[in-house]
C-alpha cells in the first residue's frame, strides 16, 4: 500500500502531537485540582512508570495506601479527571497509559474505527449514586415529567446511557427533552442555578446534589451492568514489563478492597468521607450498601463482559450517538489475562 505524501504525514504527526499536548495539559490541570499524584512505588527493580487515570477522587491511590499495598516496584502516576471519557481521550492522545471507566467511554473513543487501546480487565462494582436528580423545590418527581424539560447529563458516560434507557422506559425519546451535555461540576452548578430542570450524573456529583436538597427521580442502579473497565494503550500492552506492572497493580487493588472488607470498613469510611466531603456515617453507609449490592473485585476480561459492552454500543447506535456499527471485541484483549490470573491468585 503506498505511503501518503510527506506533507500529509507531517500534518498528521503535527496534529497528533498537538492533541497529545492539549490533553496532557488538561490532565495535569485536573490532577492539580485533586492533588498531586502519590502512591508511587520507590521504583526499585523497575524503570516502568504507569500513568493511570481516576475519576471523582483518587480512590485506588488512597485505597492502596490504606491497605499498605502502595510499595510497588514500579512508579504509578495517578491523574484525576472529571469522567472516564476524559481518561480515554488522554489515552488516545498518548497522555495516559491506563484508564478506568464505565462501559460507555471506550465505545465513543473507538467510534472513529481507529482505537489505539484495549480493554484488558473488568472491575465489578456497585451501581449506586448513578441517578437523575431534580433540584430542591422542583415539582418534578418522575422521569415521565421530563418531556420538554432541559436535562443536563454527562456525555459519553454512564449518565448518558441510563438517562436514555430511563426515558425509553417512561415512554419518552431523547428528542422529547432538551438534552444539555455538562461536566459534573458544571451540571451541579446549573441544577442549583436553575438553568436546567434535572441532571443525570454519578458519584460525587450526586452526593453533592443531595447535600443541596436534590431529590432522585430516576436511578441507573438496575440498568447498569456493574462492569467498570480497565483500558490500556496499545503501547503499554506492547511492553512485557508494563504488562507485568499493570497486572500487579490491578491485583493489588483487588486485594486492597478485600483488606477493607476484613473488618476495616469504619476506618476506611473516614478516609472516604474526607475525600468526598460527606459525613463519616454517610460514607460508611454508602460503602456498605455498595458492597452489599455487588462486591468490588477485579476480573479478567470475559465473553460475558464483552457482550455486555456490545449491548451498550448497540444502544448508542440506536440513539444515533455512534454513527458506525461497532464490534467491541475488536478493542478487547485477553493479553493481560494469564498474568492477571496469576497475580489475583497469589
pLDDT at 244: 97
Residue 156: band (very low, low, confident or very high) from pLDDT cuts 50, 70, 90: confident
Give the integer Cα–Cα distance in Å for 135 and 199: 9
Secondary structure class of 172 (helix, strand, coil) = coil
Question: Do 312 and 282 form a contact (C-beta atoms < 8 A)?
Answer: no
State mean pLDDT over 78-84. 93
pLDDT at 44: 44
Residues 192-247 pLDDT 10s: 999 999 999 999 899 999 999 999 999 999 999 999 999 999 999 999 999 999 99
Share of the chain above pLDDT 90, in %: 83
Residues 49-64 pLDDT 10s: 999 999 989 999 999 9
- pLDDT of residue 301 exceeding 60, the answer is yes
Q: Which CATH architecture has domain 130-219?
A: 3-Layer(aba) Sandwich (3.40)
Residues 245-293 pLDDT 10s: 999 999 999 999 999 999 999 999 999 999 989 999 999 999 999 999 9
Number of residues assigned to the chain: 346
Question: Do 315 and 174 form a contact (C-beta atoms < 8 A)?
Answer: no
pLDDT at 56: 84
Residues 83-116 pLDDT 10s: 899 999 999 999 999 999 999 999 999 999 999 9
C-alpha torsion angle, residues 295, 297, 299, 303 (rounded to 10): 30
Q: What residues does each domain of the chain span?
A: 16-124+227-345, 130-219
- pLDDT of residue 176 exceeding 90, the answer is yes
Q: Which residues pair with 133 in a beta bridge?
A: 199, 216
What is the CATH number assigned to the segment(s) 16-124+227-345?
A: 3.40.190.10
pLDDT at 2: 41
For 66, 133, 140, 251, the CA distances from 39, given in Å and listed in that order, are: 10, 34, 44, 15
Residues 305-341 pLDDT 10s: 999 999 999 999 999 999 889 999 999 999 999 999 9
Question: Do 47 and 41 form a contact (C-beta atoms < 8 A)?
Answer: no
Residue 37: band (very low, low, confident or very high) from pLDDT cuts 50, 70, 90: very low
pLDDT at 272: 95
What are the cell numbers at 259?
A: 483488606
Please provide the DSSP assignment of 204-255 as one string.
Answer: HHHHHHHHTT-EEEEE-TTTS--EEEEEEEHHHHT-HHHHHHHHHHHHHHHH
Secondary structure class of 263 (helix, strand, coil) = coil
Pick from 28-42, 97-111, 119-133, 321-335: least confident: 28-42
Neighbours of 139 (CB within 10 A): 7
Question: Do 296 and 119 form a contact (C-beta atoms < 8 A)?
Answer: no
- pLDDT of residue 187 exceeding 60, the answer is yes
The pTM is what? 0.82
For 125, 231, 336, the CA distances from 116, given in Å and listed in that order, are: 26, 10, 16
Q: Do domains 16-124+227-345 and 130-219 have the same CATH topology?
A: yes
Amino acid at each position: 500500500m503506498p505511503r501518503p505524501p510527506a506533507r500529509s504525514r507531517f500534518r498528521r504527526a503535527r496534529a497528533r502531537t498537538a492533541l497529545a499536548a492539549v490533553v496532557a495539559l488538561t490532565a495535569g490541570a485536573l490532577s492539580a485540582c485533586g492533588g498531586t499524584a502519590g502512591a508511587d512505588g520507590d521504583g526499585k527493580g523497575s524503570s516502568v512508570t504507569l500513568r493511570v487515570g481516576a475519576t471523582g477522587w483518587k480512590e485506588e491511590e488512597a485505597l492502596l495506601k490504606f491497605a499498605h499495598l502502595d510499595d510497588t516496584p514500579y512508579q504509578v502516576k495517578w491523574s484525576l479527571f472529571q469522567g472516564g471519557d476524559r481518561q480515554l481521550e488522554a489515552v488516545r492522545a498518548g497522555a495516559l497509559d491506563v484508564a478506568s471507566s464505565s462501559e460507555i467511554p471506550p465505545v465513543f473513543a473507538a467510534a472513529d474505527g481507529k482505537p489505539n487501546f484495549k480493554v484488558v480487565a473488568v472491575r465489578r462494582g456497585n451501581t449506586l449514586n448513578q441517578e437523575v436528580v431534580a433540584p430542591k423545590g422542583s415539582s418534578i418527581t418522575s422521569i415521565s415529567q421530563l418531556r420538554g424539560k432541559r436535562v443536563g447529563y454527562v456525555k459519553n458516560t454512564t449518565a448518558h446511557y441510563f438517562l436514555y434507557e430511563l426515558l425509553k422506559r417512561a415512554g419518552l425519546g431523547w428528542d422529547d427533552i432538551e438534552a444539555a451535555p455538562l461536566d459534573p461540576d458544571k451540571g451541579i452548578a446549573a441544577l442549583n442555578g436553575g438553568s436546567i430542570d434535572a441532571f443525570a450524573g454519578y458519584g460525587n456529583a450526586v452526593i453533592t446534589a443531595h447535600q443541596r436538597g436534590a431529590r432522585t427521580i430516576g436511578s441507573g442502579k438496575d440498568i447498569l451492568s456493574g462492569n467498570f473497565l480497565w483500558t490500556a494503550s496499545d503501547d503499554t500492552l506492547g511492553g512485557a514489563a508494563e504488562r507485568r506492572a499493570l497486572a500487579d497493580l490491578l491485583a493489588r487493588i483487588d486485594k486492597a478492597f478485600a483488606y477493607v472488607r476484613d473488618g476495616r470498613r469504619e476506618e476506611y469510611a473516614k478516609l472516604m468521607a474526607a475525600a468526598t466531603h460527606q459525613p463519616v456515617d454517610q460514607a460508611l453507609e454508602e460503602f456498605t450498601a455498595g458492597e452489599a449490592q455487588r462486591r468490588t473485585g477485579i476480573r479478567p476480561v470475559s465473553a460475558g463482559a464483552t457482550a455486555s459492552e456490545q449491548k451498550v454500543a448497540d444502544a448508542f447506535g440506536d440513539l444515533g450517538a455512534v454513527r458506525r456499527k461497532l464490534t467491541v471485541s475488536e478493542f478487547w484483549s485477553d493479553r493481560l489475562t494469564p498474568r492477571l490470573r496469576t497475580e489475583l491468585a497469589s
